[in-house]
Structure 1
Amino acid sequence: MPTPWPARMRAAAIAAICLLFAHAAPARAAEFVARAEVAAKDAKQILADWGIGFSATYIGEALGNASGGIRRGAIYTGRLDLGTDVDLERLMGWSGATFHANIYQIHGDGLSRDYIGNLMLVSGIEALPATRLYEMWIEQSLWGGRLMIKVGQQPSDIEFIDSKYDDVFANSALGWPGITGVILPSGGPSPPLAVPGIRLKAQLTERLTAYFAVFDGDAAPAGPQDPQIKNPHGLLFRVNDPPWFIGQLKYGFELGAASLPGSITGGAWYHMGTFDDQRLTAQGLSQADPAGSGEPANLRRNQGIFAVYEQKLAHSALDPQKGIGFFARASVSPSDRNLVSVYIDGGVQVTGFSERRPNDKIGAAITYARISDGARQFDRDIREFTGIATPVRDFEAIVELTYLAEVKPGVLVQPLFQYVMHPGGGAVDPNDPAQTRRIKDAAVFGVRTTINF
């Protein structure tokens, strides 16, 4: 039999082996990571050769209202966006066709929902926690791209009533306008609820582009619950609701010797569903009148008109594609069937102002949503029938200031400030026992982090 090693020799041998592995492990780990990166790049290139691409973006926000609102507090909310784009011509020979789909994984709380009580959410990613399908559509290009037809589940906020200078802002109304986001069923086709629809985009001339779309008119079934609860995973694919039509014409131009690009967009929308009267019952009495049923009258149809103006004001000396850009949007809808009847916003975005930070952006914007005459008169009726001096709602307005900093390619950090005036349009503070005090103006501070994988 072999002679056993003494205990000290065994310990020394074990130590030597451990030391060998300790020196070898980092090199092996680095080699493994390097091989994994090469394999991932190779797989990505193979998929790209087939016309398949993937994307992943994570947005995380820490937001808090330092004063005002329903109560003070802070939240964290996040959204992971996983998407794929497929060139169907390269994959299967379908000329001029592309496929897109993406899903959201949403988590965290909502500052507007839980702490402020305002109509125009302080964050465009605020939503109820869920994992949901958002978009899934096919787009067909015809006549050399002069006509584009998109069919499937899709949003409307990317192309309609939109400006390229509003992308830096966090407030939801500075993406999808505050009026359509408030008055359309389920907020209209915008995050986090897209709907089935057909969109046409036609390049009529070099400067004139026409857009037209018909969408299903509601992302969720009728009922008192939140639409996000009624359509929890974005898989209802509703097509039987009264439709919503929207169209616009966009005219592009250039100003001055500096050739500063700008555009003017005008359009309208029409919804064929029914909407609640903001003041009256079917019997013609105020909803606040004890002699009436208290149930709002149903009014057929709804519509709105809108306009968008965007203009580059100056080129950056560092990059002519950057500089100072301005936008303004306005929209009007009937007062009897809508909580908001007039909406205006505008803002400025500045890029290319620092050679050391070429991709940073600065933004300043303001929104204004006027509470409709019908809703105001209802508030006055409550005063008359109850004898309580409850506030009469008038408007909600928000100022946003933000700075978007590129920490490194694909990683953005964005401190922001919003001041919310008359949350809920000047609604009654639910914490006031006398029901005579408005929700106080809120000062919101926060940081958004965006990571593109």
Structure 2
Amino acid sequence: MLWSGARADDRATATGQQDLRQRLAAWGIQFNLTYIGETFANPVGGVRNGAIYTGRLDVGTTIDLEKLVGWGGATFHANAFQIHGDGLSRSYVGNLMLVSGVEALPASRLYEFWVEQALLGGRLQVRVGQQPSDMEFIDSKYDDLFANSALGWPGITGIILPSGGPSPPLAVPGVRLKAQLTEKLVGYLAVFNGDAAPPGPGDPQLKNPHGILFRVQDPPWVIGQLRYNFELGTTALPGTIAAGAWYHFGSFDSQSLDAAGRSLADPLSSGEPARMRRNQGLFGVFEQLLMRSPLDPAKGAGLFIRTSVSPSDRNLISFYLDGGIQFSGFSAARPDDKFGVAATYARISRDVRRYDQDLQLFTGIATPVRDFEAVIEASYSFQVAPNVAVQPIVEYVMHPGGGAVDPSDPTQTRRIRDAIVFGVRTTAAF
């Protein structure tokens, strides 16, 4: 009887929560709460071996302002993170493309805070406020399964843009336009503040610890993209081709020369990199549903490929490529499970390699010449309850840090060792 009473109380609580959600939805108010907890370890390779736990609580709201206050076509959204735990890349592996996109310094921070206005019957949407870029630009719907940070926001932009660009855990103020140009063609254009943190040395996450600086005075970052939707074959398998470019109006450090044109590795150099005006990049995305699931035509096997290039003289990474395949709807017993395999490749720029070669010349030490970093990830998401997924993850990290010297090597001649990473991520959404 005690157990039956507990079950009745649980049902009453769930019913009350559902009624509250329905009343709020009638007013145009939605709340979301998602917790991601993950454990990763690198028993092989990296700077040293170890294990970590990382957690991120994401609390947010989306409000239909037309329902709530009569503001036609307007939507408000805000969310905040509470991040805790350590990061495997930061503390153990030493790689550029973080093992997990959740990895960040512990903090409680505001992330998004924006208003969007729909115009022209919804064909034009204007979003103003603090926002990220990774949800719409250089993005694929088939990369959402994977844990590695580069398989969300691409490894090149996440590494070379100030503060990593507008992506977790740092969003920035900006204005984004989204236009339905034709039935199949969508255009995106955004102007963001060019840095989430004040200039100067130090970790951007420490310089903007709570996400409330709302910086608007930095040189802007502009990004544009065209996305074309198509259908392939007699079964009309949906696919997308996207292409675009970005331009940053700030200044960037030369990767090999000082202001006098002398190699930064030269003992006679000032040690202060020459400042290069502006920065830019080109990118492309292809995604294609290869096969429909017999359980759900929206599911099946989906392929994605993304690539991007940027100048070598002012960037650590000059060429980036990733891709993968995701499977869903493959089991009648487990219709919401997903699994997939993906890989990333980030090439170290020519000028960085030139600096490493000059360092060998001037020091006489056979320090490694950095060349690339690559990651292979395999992941399976088990839907263990309607709102809970458990996800085993395996990553193989090649040339961590682009093949950088191992800081624990006294001879400074050995690269950081390739790492094998095992992890488990649990995601609960309410």
If the TM-score is normalised by the length of the shorter chain, which range does it land in? Answer: over 0.9
2:74 aligned with 1:97: yes
2:219 aligned with 1:242: yes
Q: Structure 1 CA distance, aligned partners of 2:402 and 2:14?
A: 52
Residues 44-101 of structure 1: CA distance to partner in whole angstroms, max 9, x if unpaired?
2221111111000000101000100000011000100001010000000000000000
Q: Structure 2 CA distance, aligned partners of 1:172 and 1:141?
A: 31
Q: Which residue of 1 aligns with 2:354?
A: 377
Q: Structure 2 CA distance, aligned partners of 1:205 and 1:35?
A: 49
How many Å apart are 1:318 and its aligned residue?
A: 1.6
Alignment of 1:112-127 (within 5 A): 112-127=89-104
Task: Pick one of 156, 169, 189 that aligns with 1:192.
Answer: 169
Q: Which residue of 1 aligns with 2:156?
A: 179
Q: Structure 1 CA distance, aligned partners of 2:228 and 2:428?
A: 34
Q: Which residue of 1 aligns with 2:137?
A: 160
SS of residue matched to 2:405: coil
2:65 aligned with 1:108: no
CA, structure 1 residues 29+316, in 2 after alignment: closer, same or farther (shift >3 Å)? Answer: closer
Q: Structure 1 CA distance, aligned partners of 2:390 and 2:3?
A: 32
SS of residue matched to 2:170: coil
Q: Which residue of 2 aligns with 1:389?
A: 366
SS of residue matched to 1:338: coil
SS of residue matched to 1:240: coil
CA, structure 1 residues 387+245, in 2 after alignment: closer, same or farther (shift >3 Å)? Answer: same
2:295 aligned with 1:295: no
CA, structure 1 residues 362+337, in 2 after alignment: closer, same or farther (shift >3 Å)? Answer: same
How many Å apart are 1:182 and its aligned residue?
A: 0.2
CA, structure 1 residues 255+37, in 2 after alignment: closer, same or farther (shift >3 Å)? Answer: closer
SS of residue matched to 2:383: strand
CA, structure 1 residues 349+282, in 2 after alignment: closer, same or farther (shift >3 Å)? Answer: same
Query: Across the two proteins, how many residue pairs are aligned to each other?
Result: 430
Q: Which amino acid aligns with 1:94?
A: W
Q: Which residue of 2 aligns with 1:44?
A: 21
- Structure 1: tracts of 5 or more residues without a match: 1-22
Q: Which amino acid aligns with 1:159?
A: E
How does the TM-score come out when normalised to structure 1?
0.93
Q: What percent identity do the matched residue pairs reach?
A: 68
Q: Structure 1 CA distance, aligned partners of 2:3 and 2:237?
A: 54
Alignment of 1:43-62 (within 5 A): 43-62=20-39
- Structure 2: tracts of 5 or more residues without a match: none
Q: Which amino acid aligns with 1:291?
A: L
2:47 aligned with 1:70: yes
Task: Pick one of 331, 334, 347 that aligns with 1:354.
Answer: 331
Q: Which amino acid aligns with 1:319?
A: D
Q: Structure 2 CA distance, aligned partners of 1:282 and 1:56?
A: 50
Q: Which amino acid aligns with 2:256?
A: R
Q: Which residue of 1 aligns with 2:393?
A: 416
Task: Pick one of 364, 367, 370 that aligns with 2:344.
Answer: 367
Q: Structure 2 CA distance, aligned partners of 1:230 and 1:115?
A: 23
Q: Which residue of 2 aligns with 1:259?
A: 236
Q: Which residue of 1 aligns with 2:315?
A: 338
Q: Which residue of 1 aligns with 2:187?
A: 210
How does the TM-score come out when normalised to structure 2?
0.98
Larger mean CA deviation between 29-38 and 156-165 belongs to 29-38
Larger radius of gyration: 1
How many Å apart are 1:411 and its aligned residue?
A: 0.6
